[in-house]
Amino acid sequence: MELTYSAQTTDFDPDKRYRNPQYFDRPEAGVTKIVVVGQWPNVVDAYKALDVEVDIVEAGASSETDPTKMGVADLRDWLTAQGIEFDPKAPKVEIVKLIPAS
């Protein structure tokens, strides 16, 4: 079985199985390959220790690099990649406030 670990909230492929890496606590039995979207070293390390094939994909397919201009899904991925915790149900106006001042 193949799993995709991603913090995305939209654009799911109905033919794939997804897990949110924010809630990862241990590898699932029967997994032969995982695709990890973003930087989730705990997920990667746990599956590699079991000799499961791991593919890592950069988070945010968008070319936008300014988090204040990103769409909600990309902004959530960006915050997650930065290690910034947020309420996944919070509206954009609230999560934009979490962007660190540069």
Ordered by start, the domain boundaries in the chain are 2-57, 67-98
> Quick one: what percent of the chain has pLDDT higher than 90?
47
Predicted local distance difference test score (pLDDT) of residue 57 = 85
C-alpha dist (Å) from residue 11 to 44, 45, 57: 23, 26, 15
The string of pLDDT tens digits covering residues 21-34 is 999 999 999 999 99
- Label residue 62 by pLDDT band (50, 70, 90): low
Mean pLDDT, rounded, of the chain: 88
For residue 95, the SS3 value is helix
C-alpha dist (Å) from residue 85 to 34, 97, 98: 24, 12, 9
Predicted local distance difference test score (pLDDT) of residue 13 = 81
C-alpha dist (Å) from residue 88 to 26, 52, 70, 73: 21, 29, 16, 10
pLDDT over 80 (residue 60):
no
C-alpha dist (Å) from residue 60 to 21, 25, 49, 89: 15, 24, 27, 19
Predicted local distance difference test score (pLDDT) of residue 71 = 79
> Quick one: what percent of the chain has pLDDT higher than 70?
93
pLDDT over 60 (residue 61):
no
Residue pair 56/27 in contact by the 8 Å Cβ criterion: no
pLDDT over 60 (residue 67):
yes
Query: β-strands 33-37, 18-19: how paired?
Result: unpaired
